[in-house]
Amino acid sequence: MAGRNKQPLSVVQGKGKKHLTRQEIKERMEQEESIKGYADNVEPPSYLTAAQKKEFNKIAAELIRLEIFSNLDVDSLARYIDSKTQYIQMIKELKKIKPTETVTKPDGKKLTFANEDYPKLQRVKNALFGECRAAAADLGLTITSRLKLVLPPKEEKKTESKFAKFGRGNSG
């Protein structure tokens, strides 16, 4: 299906929507294993600050534990952390600025005007949020992105209720 992201074999099988031959399953498993990547050299890039490196290590450890992170994802995680840091900084700056300004005229009358800088800063904040959210989704840091990787629960065999037993009648 054009335009859709390829799902891991375990998800496809868990959904029960696609019938694959043993050969197709074997090939797909080998392909997925070969592109998984190694996580033997995961280190925060030098351009991150000390605090950012600490967060990088914390998140990387969790992603490695989930087996969805490799050496190839290092720069993506660093960009996410940098974007998140800038977003938080922008929020702090926005809290210092009021959306309106009040001016008192010489006659004592007060006029309220919109702060011209506020909407500009809001747009920057929204852009940073978008960057941060997209990077988080790409890395599996959001619940919805992780749910795409998790097998749907298998249907349990329904147990017969005690009332259904009476409806069958006793043949014993």
Q: Given a cut of 80, is residue 17 above it in pLDDT? A: no
Q: Given a cut of 80, is residue 73 above it in pLDDT? A: yes
Give 79's pLDDT tier (boundaries 50, 70, 90): very high
Q: Judge contact between 9 and 32, C-beta under 8 A.
A: yes
Phi, psi of 114 (to 5 degrees): -70, 140
Tell the burial category of 80 from Cβ atoms under 10 Å away from its Cβ (0-12, 13-18, 19+). buried
Low-confidence winner among 46-50, 97-101, 123-127 (lowest mean pLDDT): 97-101
pLDDT tens for 45-65 read 999 999 999 999 999 999 888
What does pLDDT average to over the chain?
80
How much of the chain, in percent, has pLDDT values that exceed 70? Answer: 71
**What pLDDT does 51 receive?**
97
- What is this structure's pTM? 0.66
Residues 36-41, mean pLDDT to the nearest whole number: 79
Q: Given a cut of 50, is residue 152 above it in pLDDT? A: no
Rounded Cα–Cα distance for residues 100 and 116 (Å): 8
Rounded Cα–Cα distance for residues 40 and 169 (Å): 64
**What pLDDT does 149 receive?**
65
**What pLDDT does 128 receive?**
96
